[in-house]
Structure 1
Amino acid sequence: MARHALQPGSVIDGFTTGERVHRGGMATLWQVSRPDLAGPLLMKIPRISEGDDPAAIVSFEMEQMIVPRLSGPHVPACFATGDFATQPYVVIEQIPGQTLYQRLPELPLPYDEAVAIACKVAVALADLHAQHVIHHDIKPSSVMFRDSGEAVLIDYGLSHHAQLPDLLQEEFRLPFGTAPYMAPERLLGVRDDPRSDLFSFGALLYFFTTGERPLGETETLRGMRRRLWRDVHPPRKLRADYPPWLQEIVLRCLEIEPAQRYPTAAQLAFDLGHPFEVTLTARADKLTRDPWRTVWHRRFNRGAGLPQPRTDAAANLAAAPIVMVALDVGESAAELNEALRVATARLLSTLPAARLACVNVLKLGRLTIDRTLDEHDNNKHVDRLVQLRHWASRLGLEEARLTSHVIEAIDPAAAVLEFAEVNRVDHIIIGARQQSLRRQLLGSVSAKVAAEARCSVTVVRPKRAGE
C-alpha cells in the first residue's frame, strides 16, 4: 500500500491538508480543505504503522462503512472516504467547539444543566438507533454540540450497524470500549443491543451529576466482570439533595439486565423532558446497593455468564414506540373519545412496551386575555389533567407507560405537531368530528395533523347512527 507521508500542504484526492489537530491511539485528525466544499473539514486517518494496534485497522473499516450512511444534525456529515489500497481516510465536517470532556473539571454540574445536556444526548441516541446504529462508546469525549444546540455524537470506530458486517465481533474476542462506561453485556460478547448505549448514557449522567464514576476506573477484564452482578452506589448516597426522579432515571439506565433498562432512547428522552411525569419506584429512594444475597444470586445463578440471545434492534424500536393520543375533553366529545379509547387499546395491545402520552390542547384566544379558572372557579389546566387521567384509566396501563399533558396554545394543530416533534412521537391517534361548514372553510385539526406530521397518524371518527 503506497501511503502518503502527511504534512501540511499535502494533497490527497483533491483535499489539501492543513494543521494536524489530534493524534489518538487509533487515528490522527487533520484539518483539510477542497475548493468545492465550504466550511471547515477534518480528515481522519488510521494509525497503521509498525507496532500500532491491529484493531485500529478494523475499527477504521467499521467507521468507513458506517459514517457515510448516517444523516441528520446529530452526526457529523461525511464528504469522502479513501481506499486502503492507496490512503485510507474519512473526511467529515469539523464541528466547532469542544467535547463534553472539557467540562470534567466543573463536575458535578448543577442538576438543571446536567439534565439539559442529557436530554440532548438522549435525543441524539434515539436518532442514531433509528438509523440502525449502536454507538458503543458513549463518553464525554464522544459528545459535542452544534451552535444550534443539537448534540452531535462522534467517533464510530466501535459501532455496530444492524445491516452491515460487524468486523470487530468477527475478528476479536475481547470487548473494545471505554471501561468506565461499558455495559455489562458487552463483556459477554453482546454487541447488537441498543440498550448498551443507555447503560453508557446512565454512567455519563451519573458522573456529571455526582462528580464520581459509578463503575470506578477499573481497566482489568477481571475487575470489569464484577459489573455482571454488582450494582452501583445510588447517587443519593453521594448527594443527599439528589432528585428522586433523576435517580430513578439514572439507576434504570444502569440496570445490570438490559431488559430492566429503558426499552428505547426515545422513551428515556421523554422522561428527561417530563420529570414530573416520571413514575417513581424503589429505585428512587435507594440509599445503599443491593444486599449481598441478591448479588450472590446474580453471580451464581445458572446460566449467568452466557451470551444473551441476539436482539433485533429494529424490532426492539418498533415494539417500544411513543404513542400520542390527542383528546378533546368537552362533554360533546364523549362519543368520539370512546372511539379513540377503542382504537388506542387495539394498538397498545400489540405493543406491550409502548409509551402512551395523552394530550389535550387548552385553546387560547388570539386577542383576549384568558382566565385560568372556569365559571365554577376550577383551574382549567388541572381539571383537564384529571379528565385525561380518568379517560386513560380504563386502558389499564401501568403508571410507567402513561403520561398526561395539557398544552396551552392558540393553534391546536400546531401544538399537537410540535409536541409530537419535540418528544419523538412515533404514532399519533387523533379524532375527527363530523363535517361542518366551519371545518370545510378553515380545515380541521385532524386533517392538518395528518398532512404535516412526520410520524404515522391514525384518524378516528365516531360511528354514525345505524352503523
Structure 2
Amino acid sequence: MPTEVGGFTLGPVLHEGGMAVLRSATHPDHAGPILVKLPRLAEGADPAAIVSFEMEQMILPRLDGPHVPRCLGVGHEPLPWIAMERIQGETLLPLLDRLPLPIAEVAEVGAMVAEALCALHRQGVVHLDVKPGNLMQVDGRVVLLDFGLSHHAHLPDLMTEEFRLPYGSAPYMAPEQVMGIRGDPASDLFALGALLYALTTGRNPFGDPQHMAHMKRRLWWDPPPPRALRPDCPPWLQEIILRNLEVEPVRRHPTAAQLAFDLRHPEQVSQTSRATKLKRDAWSARIRRRFHPDHQPRLRRDAVAMAQSGAPIIMVAVDLGGMTAALADAMQGMVTQIMATLPGARVACVNVLQTHLLRPDMTLDDEGRNKHLQRLLELRHWSAPLKLPEARLTHHVLEATGPAATLLEYAQQNRVDHIILGARAHSLGRRVLGSVAAEVARDAPCSVTVVRLRAG
C-alpha cells in the first residue's frame, strides 16, 4: 500500500470493508481531519468493486451541501483514491442493537434521512444503497456515505454498462433495482421504507435474501403489516411505510421532501386502507400478481436516463497488448475525426481482459498489482491525447474468455452507434483463426470502422 497519494500523506487504517479501505490522512493545504478511500485489491477482488469506485470518483466531486462529505480530490495513480473531509459522527448501525425503536425516534430518523435524500435528488443523483451503514448522524442531520452504486443523471452509468446483475444491499433494494432499472429516485424511497419497517418492527420486510430468485419475491410478495408485528405502531406510520414499499415506483411518495413532511406532520398524513391493514394479502392475490399479466408491475425507467439513451456512443476497442504506436495514433485520429461530426457523442474505451475457461484466473500479476486496475490505467493513458472531458469519456475493462463476443455484447447491450477498432498485422494465427476485427465487423449491430496502417 502507498504512503502518499496526490499530496495526501496516509495515516493508519480506520476501517476496512469488503470493497474499500479508509485511512486517515493529512495535507498541508487542508487543516481539518481528512479521510482517504482506497479500493481493496486483494487476490480474488470483485471487478465490480473497481467499477463502483470509479463511479464514486466521478460523482462525489460534483456533490455539495451539508448532507454529503466534502470531496478534497480524486486520482488514479499509483492506485485509485478519493480524499474527503472526515466527518465526526456515528452511522445508524448502532440503532440496530436496540430495535424496535420508540415511534418518535423512528419518525425523526426517517425524516432526517428523507431530507438528506431530497438534497441528493435535487443534484440529479440517486443513491441506490441506502442502509444504516451508509447513513451518518451529525449535529441533527444525516450525511450520506458511499456513492459507488449511485446513478448520476448527467454521467455515464458504468455499473449498468458493464454488469447485468443488480448491485445493492438485498434487504433494502427496490423491485426495479432487482430488475436492473437504475436512476429512479423512488428507489431510494423504497429503501427508506424498508429501513423504517426495520426500525419499527425489529425485522426486515423481506428478510436478507442471498439469491436472485428470493430477491424477486418482493415484486409480488407483500410483508406483514407493521401493526401485525407491533400493535402500538400508529396507523399514519404504517401508511407511510407500506406506501413506500409499493412495488410500482409511482405509488410511493412523489418526492423525498413530501416523505419528510409526512414524517414530521403525522396529523396531515392522508390514510388509506394500508393504514389499518393487519394481515398480509391472501395467497390468491400473490399468485395473481406473480402469474397474471394484468397484475404484473409496470416498473418505469428514469426519464432522464431514457432521454440520454439517444446520445451517440462511440466504442473504441483498444488492444493494449497488440497495438503499435503508429496504430494507436491512427485510431486516436479516427476518434477525433468522428467526434468532430458528433458533438454530443461519448467515447467508451473498451479492453477485454481474457480469462480462462477451464482453470481459475489470478486477479493479481507477478508484482502483486491488480490486473483489472492496471488495464484501466493503461486505457486512461491511451485516451489522454483525446483530451475529452470526463462526462464524454469512459473506460471499461471487460473480463471474458472471448474478445469478439464480449465486444459485440457490450455494443448490443449499450446501443453503441459506432465501433472503432484496429487491425492487427498479418500473422499465421490471424490467417487460420480469423481476427477479432473481422468477427466484430461481420456481426456488429452498428457501423464499424477498422483502422489499418498502410503497408510499407
Q: Sort the TM-score into its range (normalised by shorter chain).
A: 0.5 to 0.7
Q: What residue number does 1:131 align with?
A: 123
RMSD: 1.9
Counterpart selection for 1:71 from 64, 73, 80 = 64
Counterpart selection for 1:218 from 206, 209, 222 = 209
| Matching of residue 101 in structure 1 with residue 84 in structure 2 | no
Q: 1:261 to 1:307 in 2, by over 3 A?
A: closer
Q: What residue number does 1:92 align with?
A: 84
Counterpart selection for 1:234 from 219, 225, 243 = 225
Q: How does 1:88-237 map to 2 (within 5 A)?
A: 88-147=80-139, 149-237=140-228
Confirm or deny: 8 A CA contact 1:158 1:177 kept in the other structure.
yes
Confirm or deny: 8 A CA contact 2:183 2:305 kept in the other structure.
no
Counterpart selection for 2:28 from 22, 35, 48 = 35
Q: How does 1:16-415 map to 2 (within 5 A)?
A: 16-83=9-76, 85-147=77-139, 149-302=140-293, 308-312=299-303
Partner of 1:138: helix, strand, or coil?
Answer: coil
CA distance in 1: counterparts of 2:178 and 2:305, whole angstroms: 23
CA displacement at 1:109 relative to structure 2: 0.9
Confirm or deny: 8 A CA contact 1:188 1:306 kept in the other structure.
no
Q: TM-score, normalised by structure 1?
A: 0.64
Q: 1:308 to 1:206 in 2, by over 3 A?
A: closer
Confirm or deny: 8 A CA contact 1:74 1:127 kept in the other structure.
yes
Confirm or deny: 8 A CA contact 2:247 2:297 kept in the other structure.
no
Query: What letter is aligned with 2:285?
Result: T
- 1:156-206 Cα offsets, whole Å, 9 max, x none, are 011011110000001001100110111111111110211011010001011
Q: 1:306 to 1:297 in 2, by over 3 A?
A: closer
Q: 1:303 to 1:81 in 2, by over 3 A?
A: farther
Q: TM-score, normalised by structure 2?
A: 0.65
Confirm or deny: 8 A CA contact 2:196 2:241 kept in the other structure.
yes
CA displacement at 1:296 relative to structure 2: 1.6
CA distance in 2: counterparts of 1:74 and 1:94, whole angstroms: 13
CA distance in 2: counterparts of 1:308 and 1:235, whole angstroms: 25
CA distance in 1: counterparts of 2:298 and 2:165, whole angstroms: 13
- 1:112-150 Cα offsets, whole Å, 9 max, x none, are 111111111000001101111110100100100222x11
Q: 1:174 to 1:303 in 2, by over 3 A?
A: farther
Partner of 1:116: helix, strand, or coil?
Answer: helix
Query: What letter is aligned with 2:201?
Result: T
Q: 1:203 to 1:44 in 2, by over 3 A?
A: same
Confirm or deny: 8 A CA contact 2:39 2:49 kept in the other structure.
yes
CA distance in 2: counterparts of 1:63 and 1:109, whole angstroms: 32
Confirm or deny: 8 A CA contact 2:249 2:300 kept in the other structure.
no
Q: 1:21 to 1:221 in 2, by over 3 A?
A: same
CA displacement at 1:99 relative to structure 2: 0.4
CA displacement at 1:313 relative to structure 2: 5.7
278-287 or 298-307, which deviates more:
298-307
Query: What letter is aligned with 2:263?
Result: L
Partner of 1:207: helix, strand, or coil?
Answer: helix
Q: What residue number does 1:361 align with?
A: none
11-20 or 277-286, which deviates more:
11-20
CA displacement at 1:303 relative to structure 2: 7.6
CA distance in 2: counterparts of 1:291 and 1:307, whole angstroms: 21
CA displacement at 1:50 relative to structure 2: 3.1
CA distance in 2: counterparts of 1:19 and 1:305, whole angstroms: 51
CA distance in 1: counterparts of 2:143 and 2:78, whole angstroms: 30
Partner of 2:302: helix, strand, or coil?
Answer: coil
- 1:301-333 Cα offsets, whole Å, 9 max, x none, are 328779844222699xxxxxxxxxxxxxxxxxx
Q: What residue number does 2:327 align with?
A: none
% identical equivalent positions: 55
- 1:220-250 Cα offsets, whole Å, 9 max, x none, are 1111111111111100000111100000000
Partner of 2:66: helix, strand, or coil?
Answer: coil
CA distance in 2: counterparts of 1:116 and 1:301, whole angstroms: 40
Q: 1:204 to 1:309 in 2, by over 3 A?
A: closer
Confirm or deny: 8 A CA contact 1:27 1:45 kept in the other structure.
yes
Confirm or deny: 8 A CA contact 1:22 1:30 kept in the other structure.
yes
CA displacement at 1:295 relative to structure 2: 1.3
CA distance in 2: counterparts of 1:110 and 1:242, whole angstroms: 9
CA displacement at 1:87 relative to structure 2: 2.2
CA distance in 2: counterparts of 1:232 and 1:312, whole angstroms: 29
CA distance in 1: counterparts of 2:18 and 2:295, whole angstroms: 34
Confirm or deny: 8 A CA contact 1:194 1:313 kept in the other structure.
no
Confirm or deny: 8 A CA contact 2:130 2:188 kept in the other structure.
yes
Query: What letter is aligned with 2:23?
Result: W
Q: 1:313 to 1:210 in 2, by over 3 A?
A: farther
CA distance in 2: counterparts of 1:63 and 1:110, whole angstroms: 35
Q: 1:306 to 1:209 in 2, by over 3 A?
A: closer
Partner of 2:38: helix, strand, or coil?
Answer: strand
Q: 1:290 to 1:304 in 2, by over 3 A?
A: closer
Confirm or deny: 8 A CA contact 1:124 1:151 kept in the other structure.
yes
Partner of 1:33: helix, strand, or coil?
Answer: strand
Confirm or deny: 8 A CA contact 1:63 1:157 kept in the other structure.
yes
CA distance in 2: counterparts of 1:42 and 1:95, whole angstroms: 9
